[in-house]
Chains A and B, each alone.
Chain A
Amino acid sequence: MIKEITIFPGIDKNGFKEKFTYIKLKAGETVSIVGPTGSGKTAFITDIELLAQGDTSTKRRVIINGEIPTDEIRYNPSMKPIVMITQNTKCFADLTTEEFLQIHARARKIYDQKVIQATIDLANTFTGEKIKRDTRVTVLSGGQTRSLLIADAILIGAAPVILLDEIENAGIFKQEVVSLIHNTGKIVIFVTHDPVIALLTKTRIIMENGAVKNILYQNEPEIKVAQNLLELDKKIGHVREELRAGKAITYDFLSVNFA
């Protein structure tokens, strides 16, 4: 079981050493990674996913529960305590959704066939257009693919560390995703440009030029502002769903207080 992961500094894009001594993340902790485009956010979580040992371009090292992970943990998916939702929204495998999930379940050594339908059902709560068992994964839309992969990460990956790369961009119901994986005792790391997600996490890691520039902890005013933004976000979401459903917006929505 993962109690903590520790990240040791690497180098920035110019080859200078990062300024932190180490970053320790404990079970139950939520973290967001923020910073400009190209600043190394994806590279940071990829290091965690690969359990880097100085063998990635950032030269960072990642250890689990104070120990260097064994080759078995690094290279065997069924032992891997980490799931990652990448920025990619495309599947290339020529398989149906059902076959894809079945093989992945075998890779993760899950043999209860009920997990397949459960994963598809969960995915369908995140997305508008429903995914069917026999839909080929290559024809799923970007949002559908993301939804399926998030559901797969939660139910089939079922790992104690979840890494999510910019889930807000896929046009899925991010609030549902966020509330679902909050408070699960997992280490959850969001790479995000979304202020609501960023403010909801306890720890914020700020990236620049390929390196960790600063680490901030959620403060009192931020919790309040997050609540405000959350309300606002729900209202925007409501209008968005009406628009998506092809409806005209009426005066009723004026009661929405955007202030």
Chain B
Amino acid sequence: MKLVVIAGPPSAGKTSLIKQIVKRFKDEITIAFLKIDVVKAFEDIELKKEFGILTKKVYSGDLCPDHAGVMVLGDAVAWAEKSAADLLIVESAGLCLRCSPYLNQGLGIIVLSSISGIHVPEKMGAMVSLADVAVITKIDLVSQAEREVLIQKIKEVHTGIILMETNALQGNSLHRLYKLIKNSPDIDKDNLFLKGNPPLGTCTICVGKKEVGWKHHFGVVQKLDGPFAEYLYRGE
């Protein structure tokens, strides 16, 4: 079974892109889809209705959605394999800019919209830098020059990434992506690891303590202007 993990900020066009991928492959192979979101998601219902593929969703609630992904992905892979799926597509919530949902196997795709602003690729950290492929959507809404400016910017920040552009509503020029998916090797489910580093432990904010100000907290905390390093771990 092949694995494709798709990340990107809300409304970037992740689901639209997934629909194009499903449309392209659904007559050849069995596809399973997992949506991870924080509070509400409808993608599973939508994709099941439109294409009749296997779908599932999970809400991460108070947990970082990418952490939730790590927790449930083992089950998801087992579920998809039991259902004889040839391709498992995971759509992440795309909210945690600290973490990234990509694994050491399969294809990691970041979806970015052309109208989300020129500095977004720099701000998004691991979600972009650890992806194998970046798909720029909504190119129908901007000028060619602006598309090229955005591409140049991403290339300068993330030199190794494979870049492509599309109008995700029509699936323009995605042959190259389909080829990458087709050629990606089957995963070995006993050797799946998170590509990025998980956050340093948890902190008192993570476990729900609401007091404001670093003095009230320990774990991973940081003063706004302080003599500390950029990142600080306070153990007690």
Residues of A at the B interface (CB closer than 8 Å) are 46, 49-50, 52-53, 55-57, 71, 74-75, 77, 83-86, 88, 90-95, 100, 103-104, 106-108, 145, 149, 152-153, 156-157
Contact = CB atoms under 8 A, between A and B. Distances in A.
Nearest to A50: B173
Interface residues of B, number: 29
Contacts of B144: 49, 83-86, 153, 157
A106 B152 contact: yes
A149 B114 CA distance: 17
B143 A94 contact: no
Nearest to B170: A57
B118 A94 contact: yes
B207 interface: no
Contacts of B174: 55
A157 B149 CA distance: 12
A103 B149 contact: yes
B11 interface: no
B172 A55 contact: yes
Interface in B141-164: 141-146, 148-153, 156, 163-164
A56 B170 contact: yes
Q: Which 4 pairs across A and B sit closest by C-beta, in order of nearness?
A: A107-B152, A93-B118, A77-B148, A107-B148
A104 B149 contact: yes
Contact of B114 (A74, A92, A94, A152): A92
Given A57-B172, A93-B117, A100-B146, 14 more contacts: A46-B172, A53-B173, A55-B172, A56-B172, A56-B173, A86-B142, A91-B142, A91-B146, A92-B118, A94-B119, A100-B149, A103-B149, A104-B152, A152-B145
Given A75-B163, A93-B146, A52 B173 contact: yes
Contact of A55 (B143, B153, B175): B175
Contacts of A77: 148, 151-152
B194 interface: no
B194 to A, nearest CB: 30
Contacts of A90: 142
B148 A104 contact: yes
8 contacts: A53-B175, A75-B176, A83-B144, A84-B144, A86-B143, A100-B146, A106-B152, A107-B148
Contacts of B149: 93, 95, 100, 103-104, 107
B115 interface: yes
A51 B40 CA distance: 39
A153 B142 contact: no
Contacts of A95: 118, 149
B179 to A, nearest CB: 10
Contacts of A91: 142-143, 146
Interface in B124-147: 140-146
Contacts of A71: 176
B173 A92 contact: no
Contact of B153 (A53, A103, A145): A103
Contacts of A93: 117-118, 146, 149-150
Contacts of B146: 91-93, 100
A118 to B, nearest CB: 15
Contacts of A75: 163-164, 176
Contacts of A107: 148-149, 151-152
A215 to B, nearest CB: 25
A52 B170 CA distance: 13
A88 B142 contact: yes
A240 B173 CA distance: 42
A92 B152 contact: no
Nearest to A152: B145
A46 B174 CA distance: 15
Given A56-B170, A94-B117, A157 B176 contact: no
Contacts of B152: 77, 103-104, 106-107
Contacts of A88: 141-143
Interface string B165-177: 0000011111110
A91 B145 CA distance: 9
B145 A157 contact: yes
A145 B145 CA distance: 11
